[in-house]
Amino acid sequence: MIINKMGIREQNEAAVLKTIIDNELVSRAEVSNLTNLNKASVSQITKKLIETDFVREVGIGDSTSIGGRKPIQLQFNHLSSLAVTFDIGYNYVRGMLSYINGEMIASANHSNELITKENVLATIDAMMKKFWSQMPKTPHGLVGICLAIHGIVHNRTIAFTPYYDLENFDLITPLSQKYNTDVYIENEANLTALGEYCFSSDSVNLLSVSVHSGIGVGIVVNGQLQTGTHGMAGEVGHSTLFPHGNLCPCGNRGCLEQYASNKVLFDTYGQYTKTNVVNSDIFAEAYHAGEKAAIELARQNVEFLSIGLNNVITFSDPEEVYINSSVYRKIPSLLIALQQKLTSQFTKNAKIKNSPLGDQAPLFGGTVLVAKHFLNINDLRFTSIDLSKAIH
């Protein structure tokens, strides 16, 4: 079911709106110069964008210090529409209600329960109920819901999920019917890359490496997300590390994510220490306390992950590589160790960074996906958000 709440349809309108978003505050004359549209067209388009609440005028009638009036400036009205994103992990669901530019209104977190096709819709519904009661009244209302899936997404279908049973499960129809809005689904690592591109980075070529239950890489080349023919681009977790190694749910043996994922790190640490529940807090605490098993497992993790990174960097020559792992966030020295392993002529120039968006990156990326469709802008960037305030 495609409701298609596209807010902007016409190409010149989208071009004017993108120019206003990119420049934050801009006059009609500057928009005309930047878009190569004549002043009359810009005037007509901005009038429509103001009437439809996409743009607002700022500085009307203010006088400057040298006298005269400041030109009226145009600003994107991000308060006119709302987006909701859910990140559906194998044992958690995180949600975020935000304005269309990612400015957060509310967040929700459901954790420590394995997600299955039996409980996923009820979990999302409970969070939506909370968001619904917190939604401010806006001219366009809720313009889309995005779902981040830890698996392969292709043609609006969940094609393969190694760590939960949502394969071919239709989440779009029930949610779009119930909430009367467009519902988008995309791979979690892809959304994470989109979030970093739109909110964190100045570069147009970047990789975002999501290390959770598996390992996925989101690839942005020249400002565009690369998803491949079947939505499988960046499945680096399934590149071979050991040809006759551990069996992987993908069907191969020795896949990288069977050695370097956080799930494997926690499971292995749990076996060594006879601990049932291990998470990044527990692991980081053990590491910082100098516990031998934690230090050795972290060393191995850096070594294995660096091999995967070496391969993916040589393949795509990115300017920046964002590591999105709760372990690397809590133990920043591991990031330095990782960078130190990438010393070849082909990898030494890639800047390895901890993700500034952290575990909320797929939520921000989901908002971008909704905004791109609603605003009809393919190369969208929001630089005006203060992330230190936005991230909780």
Q: How far is the CB of 243 from Zn ion (least distance, A)?
A: 13
> Which of helix, strand or coil describes residue 39?
helix
232 binds Zn ion (CB under 5 A): no
Q: How far is the CB of 160 from Zn ion (least distance, A)?
A: 10
238 binds Zn ion (CB under 5 A): yes
Residue 248 is classified by DSSP as -
> How many residues are recorded in the chain?
392
Other Cβ atoms closer than 10 A to 154: 16
Residues in contact with Zn ion, counted by CB under 5 A, come to a total of 5
* Residue type (1 letter), 239: S
| Distance in angstroms (rounded) separating the CA atoms of residues 255 and 242 | 7
From residue 355, alpha-carbon distances to 97, 192, 254 in Å are 21, 9, 27
The residue among 204 and 250 lying less far from Zn ion, judged by its C-beta, is 250
Q: Strand 224-225 to strand 320-324: parallel, antiparallel, or no bridges (unpaired)? A: unpaired
* Residue type (1 letter), 211: V
Stretch that binds Zn ion, among 14-22, 120-128, 231-239, 376-384 (CB under 5 A): 231-239
Q: How far is the CB of 252 from Zn ion (least distance, A)?
A: 5
255 binds Zn ion (CB under 5 A): yes
Stretch that binds Zn ion, among 111-119, 248-256, 274-282, 287-295 (CB under 5 A): 248-256
Stretch that binds Zn ion, among 142-150, 167-175, 230-238, 302-310 (CB under 5 A): 230-238
C-beta of residue 285 within 8 angstroms of C-beta of residue 269: no
248 binds Zn ion (CB under 5 A): yes
Q: How far is the CB of 268 from Zn ion (least distance, A)?
A: 17
Q: How far is the CB of 172 from Zn ion (least distance, A)?
A: 27
Q: Select from 1, 329, 374 the least CA-distant residue to 338.
A: 329
* Residue type (1 letter), 244: H
Residue 381 is classified by DSSP as -
The residue among 206 and 248 lying less far from Zn ion, judged by its C-beta, is 248
* Residue type (1 letter), 109: N
Q: How far is the CB of 230 from Zn ion (least distance, A)?
A: 15
| Distance in angstroms (rounded) separating the CA atoms of residues 263 and 48 | 51
The residue among 163 and 269 lying less far from Zn ion, judged by its C-beta, is 163
Which positions lie near Zn ion, rule CB under 5 A?
238, 248, 250, 252, 255
